Chain A
Amino acid sequence: MTYSPEVRERLERDAKEIIGRYPKTRSALLPLLHLVQSEDGYVSDDGHEFCAEMLGLSKAEVVGVSTFYTMYKRKPAGDYHVGVCINALCAVMGGDQIWEELSEHVGVGHDETTPDGKVSLERLECNAACDFAPVMMVNWEFFDNQTPESAKQLVDDLRDGKDVRPTRGPKKLCTFKEASRVLAGLPDDLAGDGPSAAGPSLEGLKVAKANGWKAPEA
């Protein structure tokens, strides 16, 4: 399988725009890997070849890089890539139990995709939202303060095609491929959606305001 001329032309146009941002072309490799992942749902053989051609690298050099980073998938991820944080704090707060129950409920394990291609699961390391533990991510959007029940409901809703809303993020989840395009450096227009901050992010500010505490005047 190779890219059709139309797809190839579109990818090349995007790739050239991305490459143009960097003083040295090779710096565009990580974004281009996200770009081909936005086309195929994983970094395919064609994707590797495309990156190599665009940057004047050998395919081996590109594969050497893509296999280092966990976000580049070697087989198709689901439309909804679901992560459960199992790093120490989230694990203790319930992430371990969420993972066990969710994995059994969905019937797939770490880095595996359901047969219908809709959902893939991943055991995540810390995602920098520890004050919202236990944390889950879907297509790299935050789903905060999860329980085993909410996690199973979330995945059921995703598989049933219902609208699912991240805790701090856009009104509607985009697909794994759409998310990969944003990561490539080609953002959608959803930045204005969702709150500025929510929940624990605001606790300190609330305490400060309630007590009339401010930073000193200049």
Chain B
Amino acid sequence: MSTTLTPVLTANWDQPNSFTLDVYGEYEAAKKALGMEPDAVIQAVKDSGLRGRGGAGFPTGMKWGFIPQGDGKPHYLVVNADESEPGTCKDIPLMMANPHALVEGVIITSYAIRANHAFIYVRGEVLHVIRRLHAAVREAYEKGYLGSDIFGSGYDLELVVHSGAGAYICGEETALLDSLEGFRGQPRLKPPFPAVAGLYASPTVVNNVESIASVPSIIANGADWFAGMGTEKSKGFGIFSLSGHVTRPGQYEAPLGITLRELLDMAGGIRAGHQIKFWTPGGSSTPIFTDEHLDVPLDFEAVGAKGSMLGTRALQIFDETTCVVRTVLRWTEFYAHESCGKCTPCREGTYWLKQVLKRLEKGQGTEDDLTTITDIADNILGRSFCALGDGATSPIHSSVKYFREEYLKHFEIGGCPFDPKKSTLWGEQ
């Protein structure tokens, strides 16, 4: 096996009380960063090659560099901890076990972009994670790592943990900002981008939890250390989340560019007696892959070249007992439920996709319905403010591409050819 795991953010998760400052240790990286020029911190993150871990993969240091300096406006850092993309389950255990890595990353990032107020916008449906965040922030204040004159540097920072209230759309950065301002979470038209007009129309950086939590390790160990892992354009490590029909599902932290075949070897393979049928490389909004794609390096470029996206490295694995039509229907119901309603193509399109897919799954459709759903998807893609609508089209297009015969089979026999009981966790007992 060529690639090995590289635990950094997950390295302390098996320690009792890893979520406390006692076990996490002093904020040495933050101390080092606050002794540097802010621009040198931005440069280090640029040099590391870190790209956003929330799905889009935008270079993190470059995003920070877009914040205008000397503009006289307050700047803000907002951490996107609204992890809700189906399949994505890395930030929640990270904040549960290692919240101080995030808080320390917040201090370094805020200092670099000259922000004195930062927010962690965490989804509301994870109570214990929210407790751990509050406790970590309180500990950091008590130690003087937050508040005024941090490490005697003269730098001040306030950090607020803000709980959401159940809306996938708030993971979209501009919807998140509207929500944080106390409005319905609906996306804004870009430009202007948040770097120019974000929270309260001020320059704002919005970054994913894992991106920010990776920053202390870059400052502590150097940009070269981070860039030494991963592939040419996708540097560093990331948490890969395996779920579904896998012997040992879980969180595997590895350099970008590892393959699913390698990860499955580590996870004990597909559950005993079964074969892989389809999988998502990075959540439900990334087009599905099949067993043809086991050796695709899981980095931004290689996954993109094969017609999907690395997304959040949320590897949802389905074996041959799973009906692809049923799975796509459930994802589509999700998008229809979570569409905020602002843009007509997404609001109406997801609604109609759901109706047609329901009919298809029951075996009451016709081949024309396949044209209908791909037409609807074409009319959503690229025609709404944010990526939610685009994401809704990914499972449609990719499932019809790889599993057209399975859709047809539903009409031939007038129903679903699969027994849902066989796919369950207890299905083989």
Contacts and interface: CB of A to CB of B under 8 A. Distances in A.
A75 to B, nearest CB: 16
B125 A137 contact: yes
B290 to A, nearest CB: 16
B26 to A, nearest CB: 17
Nearest to B225: A218
B35 interface: no
Nearest to A194: B128
Contacts of A71: 124-125, 164-166
B242 interface: yes
A147 interface: yes
A197 B127 contact: no
A172 to B, nearest CB: 12
Given A133-B243, A185-B163, A197 B237 contact: no
Interface string B122-136: 011111101110110
Given A30-B163, A65-B182, A130-B89, A200 B248 contact: yes
Interface in A97-130: 97, 124-130
Contacts of A170: 128, 131
Contacts of B158: 21
A40 interface: no
B46 interface: no
Given A205-B7, A218-B222, A200 B251 contact: yes
B127 A141 contact: yes
Interface stretch (A7-15, A155-163, A209-217): A209-217
A74 interface: no
B17 interface: yes
Nearest to A126: B86
Given A28-B182, A94-B424, A196 B200 contact: no
A131 B168 CA distance: 19
Contacts of A213: 4-7
Given A204-B10, A218-B222, A26 B89 contact: no
B208 interface: no
Interface string A64-81: 110011111000000000
Contact of B131 (A88, A91, A188): A188
Contacts of B248: 200, 203
Contact of B182 (A30, A197, A202): A30
Contacts of A133: 243-244, 249, 425
Interface residues of B, number: 102
Interface string A37-70: 0000000000000000001000000001100111
Contact of B86 (A89, A132, A139): A89
A131 B131 contact: no
A87 B330 contact: yes
Nearest to A37: B165
A128 B242 CA distance: 12
Contacts of A199: 250
Contacts of B20: 192
Contacts of B125: 71, 83, 124, 127, 137, 140
B423 A131 contact: no
B160 interface: yes
B89 A129 contact: yes
Contact of A140 (B16, B126, B179, B334): B126
B135 A70 contact: no
Contacts of B161: 185
Interface stretch (B90-98, B142-150, B403-411): B90-98
B378 interface: no
Given A68-B185, A130-B241, A183 B17 contact: no
B131 A31 contact: no
Given A92-B330, A96-B420, A97-B420, 13 more contacts: A33-B165, A55-B182, A70-B167, A92-B423, A92-B424, A97-B424, A124-B125, A125-B337, A130-B314, A131-B243, A131-B250, A183-B165, A201-B96
Interface of B: 4-8, 10-20, 74, 83-89, 91-93, 96-97, 117, 123-128, 130-132, 134-135, 158, 160-168, 179-185, 200, 220-222, 225, 228-229, 237, 239-244, 248-254, 266-267, 284, 314, 316, 318, 322, 326-328, 330-331, 334, 337-338, 340, 420-421, 423-427
29 contacts: A26-B183, A27-B180, A55-B182, A71-B165, A72-B166, A87-B330, A91-B330, A92-B330, A92-B423, A93-B244, A94-B425, A128-B84, A130-B86, A130-B249, A130-B314, A133-B249, A183-B130, A184-B163, A187-B135, A195-B16, A196-B14, A196-B17, A197-B13, A197-B93, A201-B97, A203-B251, A204-B10, A205-B7, A208-B5
